[in-house]
């Protein structure tokens, strides 16, 4: 209880509250702007937070994450251009409701359902994080190795164009993490005579390059895309009766979203799509979906915001990112000198509760911002790309340089961006690479320690029941994406 109070006390400082509110504003803004995203904003912000209070910095990023998920819905509803991938499902009915002359109602529904989903997940987060951390404290290196393998295997099921490519991107990320001095032997690996590589590749410039630069190059192809905007004069909150009607959808989606968020690598986009599908499946009027029905907004909105809270659970309790964005928050924790994983809650519990408080605050703050500023945020999409993206490039330049005042990092950022752009064209998403990059050190460390413990015999790892459990989960997650295809092929054979 003392730690909870200490965490909240930290948040109550004016400077910290201002930072968190700033995070919410930036989150809604980047969420609303198609092309800009919460991971990109966090990557760009990261180097500038070095000199700030670490707890406030991490809390600001957590608030930004929550708000960014909601921000995407504003443009999804008003201009049918989801500002962020999790809002794609919201656009299906949100935009239709706006087109039917009720944009204010659609925005109000999205805001309230997001808040409810978010609060649901935060409550689970508050109880699940210490519990999970307590279990993880009992893990030895081999169990942790099993867990990281499972987390990496979840990349196969992660939203993206191809499961195989997600896994390759993840493996590539792990390989890049091996650059630099091998801690166990002191051997320099892949430094190619470049002194800067001895310390390894720094996260921040790579993250900025992959998320901001590759998107800049992508945007250069669509400079003249036109958008049609609905005018929303006022945001209309749903009535109590309407909420009562939607309570089943909201609860189901919140639970589903939180669960999906907790799964390593899965994030808000998958949660939103599943929230929409489940809302439709349980609906008494599924035929109304796609025509502007309230359940079609409540389902994905409650799910995607709940997933944001859920994704923080494995990130903080296990040091395993629950989504692409939390992978960046994990990198920020490392940058600020924290030790992500079960020790985080035993060593710095106030940080975990401060994050919890910041996310709770963010949920109410974006409701207020949504009520007051939805109209304004729909206008930000009219900022010409020809001016918006050069500004992003400048922030990327400064952000990557500021990290260690080295032009080498700027080159790393730019090259990562160019590689990221061509990789994206070939179906490789940046998020799995980042997950691999961040988990890489942990995978290698736990593998090396396990090999020492089990006398260099991998098969001895199976003496641990927990390891076997994770290996079974790994096998399931690796094969899941192909079940649908196999089922279809079998059905086709039956028909023939």
Partner 1 sequence: MSDQKKIHDFAPRTLGAGFVHKRDLVLAIILVAFGAFMYYEASKFPEAPAILGDTLNADVFPKMLITIMFLLVAIIPFEFKLTPEKVAKIDKDRDDKTLTITWLTILLLLTIVSFAEFLGAVVTMVITCLALPLLWGERNYIAVIIYSILFPGFVYLLFNKLLGLYFNPGILEAFK
Note the residues at the interface with partner 1 (CB under 8 A): 48, 51, 161-165, 167-168, 171-172, 174-175, 178, 182, 184-185, 187, 189-190, 213, 216-217, 220-221, 223, 384-387, 389-391, 393-395, 397-398, 401-402, 405, 407, 410-411, 414, 418, 421, 424-427, 444, 447-448, 451-452, 455-456, 481-482, 485, 488, 492, 495
Least distance from partner 1 to the Cβ atom of residue 59, Å: 18
Least distance from partner 1 to the Cβ atom of residue 306, Å: 27
Least distance from partner 1 to the Cβ atom of residue 193, Å: 12
Q: What are residue 35's phi and psi, to 5 degrees?
A: 105, -45
Nearer to partner 1 (CB atom), residue 175 or residue 227: 175
Least distance from partner 1 to the Cβ atom of residue 409, Å: 11
Nearer to partner 1 (CB atom), residue 218 or residue 277: 218
Nearer to partner 1 (CB atom), residue 47 or residue 238: 47
Q: Locate 485 and state its tokens.
A: 């295809």
Q: What percent helix, strand, coil does the chain show, rounded to 5?
A: 80, 0, 20
42: left (phi over 0), alpha (psi -120 to 50) or beta: alpha
Least distance from partner 1 to the Cβ atom of residue 1, Å: 36
Please work out, in degrees rounded to the nearest 5, the angle formed at the alpha carbon of residue 307 by the alpha carbons of 133 and 90: 180
Nearer to partner 1 (CB atom), residue 286 or residue 481: 481
421-428: long-range contacts at Cβ-Cβ below 8 A with a sequence spacing of 24 or more?
A: 421/213, 421/214, 421/217, 421/218, 423/169, 423/214, 424/214, 424/218, 426/165, 427/160, 427/161, 427/162, 427/165, 428/165, 428/166, 428/168, 428/169
Nearer to partner 1 (CB atom), residue 135 or residue 397: 397
Least distance from partner 1 to the Cβ atom of residue 42, Å: 18
Task: Report the residue count for the chain.
Answer: 496
The residue with tokens 């921040």 is 204
35: left (phi over 0), alpha (psi -120 to 50) or beta: left
Q: Locate 438 and state its tokens.
A: 């961040």
- Whether residue 232 contacts residue 374, with contact meaning beta carbons closer than 8 Å, is answered with yes
Least distance from partner 1 to the Cβ atom of residue 182, Å: 4
Q: Compute how many other C-beta atoms are within 10 angstroms of the C-beta atom of residue 173.
A: 25
Nearer to partner 1 (CB atom), residue 102 or residue 409: 409
Nearer to partner 1 (CB atom), residue 127 or residue 190: 190
């Amino acid at each position: 209880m003392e730690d909870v109070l200490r965490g909240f006390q930290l948040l109550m400082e004016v400077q910290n509250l201002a930072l968190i509110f700033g995070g919410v504003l930036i989150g809604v803004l980047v969420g609303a702007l198609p092309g800009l995203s919460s991971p990109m904003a966090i990557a760009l912000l990261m180097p500038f937070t070095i000199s700030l209070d670490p707890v406030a910095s991490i809390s600001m990023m957590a608030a930004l994450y929550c708000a960014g998920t909601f921000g995407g819905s504003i443009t999804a509803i008003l201009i049918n251009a989801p500002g962020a991938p999790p809002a794609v499902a919201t656009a299906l009915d949100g935009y239709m409701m706006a087109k039917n002359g009720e944009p204010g109602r659609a925005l109000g529904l999205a805001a309230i359902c997001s808040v409810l989903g978010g609060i649901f997940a935060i409550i689970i987060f508050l109880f699940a994080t210490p519990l999970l951390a307590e279990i993880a404290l009992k893990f030895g290196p081999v169990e942790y190795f099993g867990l990281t393998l499972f987390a990496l295997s979840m990349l196969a099921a992660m939203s993206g164009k191809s499961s195989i490519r997600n896994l390759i991107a993840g493996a590539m990320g792990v390989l890049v993490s091996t650059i630099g001095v091998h801690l166990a032997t002191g051997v320099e690996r892949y430094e190619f005579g470049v002194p800067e590589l001895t310390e390894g590749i720094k996260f921040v410039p790579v993250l900025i390059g992959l998320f901001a630069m590759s998107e800049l190059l992508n945007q250069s192809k669509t400079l003249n895309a036109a958008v049609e905007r609905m005018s929303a004069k006022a945001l209309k909150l749903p009535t109590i009766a309407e909420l009562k009607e939607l309570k089943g959808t909201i609860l189901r989606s919140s639970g589903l979203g939180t669960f999906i968020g907790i799964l390593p690598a899965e994030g808000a986009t998958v949660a939103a799509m599943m929230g929409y599908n489940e809302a439709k499946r349980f609906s008494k009027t599924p035929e109304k979906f796609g025509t502007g029905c309230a359940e079609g907004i409540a389902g994905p909105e409650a799910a995607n915001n709940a997933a944001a809270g859920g994704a923080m659970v494995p990130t903080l309790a296990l040091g395993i990112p629950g989504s692409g964005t939390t992978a960046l928050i994990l990198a920020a924790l490392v940058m600020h000198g924290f030790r992500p994983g079960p020790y985080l809650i035993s060593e710095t519990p106030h940080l975990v509760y401060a994050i919890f408080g910041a996310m709770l605050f963010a949920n109410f703050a974006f409701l207020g911002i949504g009520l007051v500023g939805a109209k304004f945020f729909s206008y930000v999409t009219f900022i010409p790309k020809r001016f918006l993206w050069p500004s992003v490039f400048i922030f990327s330049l400064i952000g990557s340089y500021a990290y260690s005042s080295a032009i080498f990092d700027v080159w790393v950022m730019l090259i990562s961006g160019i590689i990221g752009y061509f990789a994206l064209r070939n179906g490789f998403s940046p998020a799995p690479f980042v997950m691999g990059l961040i988990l890489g050190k942990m995978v290698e460390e736990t593998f090396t320690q396990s090999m020492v413990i089990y006398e260099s015999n991998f098969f001895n790892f199976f003496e641990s029941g927990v390891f076997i459990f994770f290996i079974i989960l790994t096998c399931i997650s690796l094969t899941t994406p192909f079940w649908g295809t196999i089922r279809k092929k079998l059905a086709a054979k039956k028909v023939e």
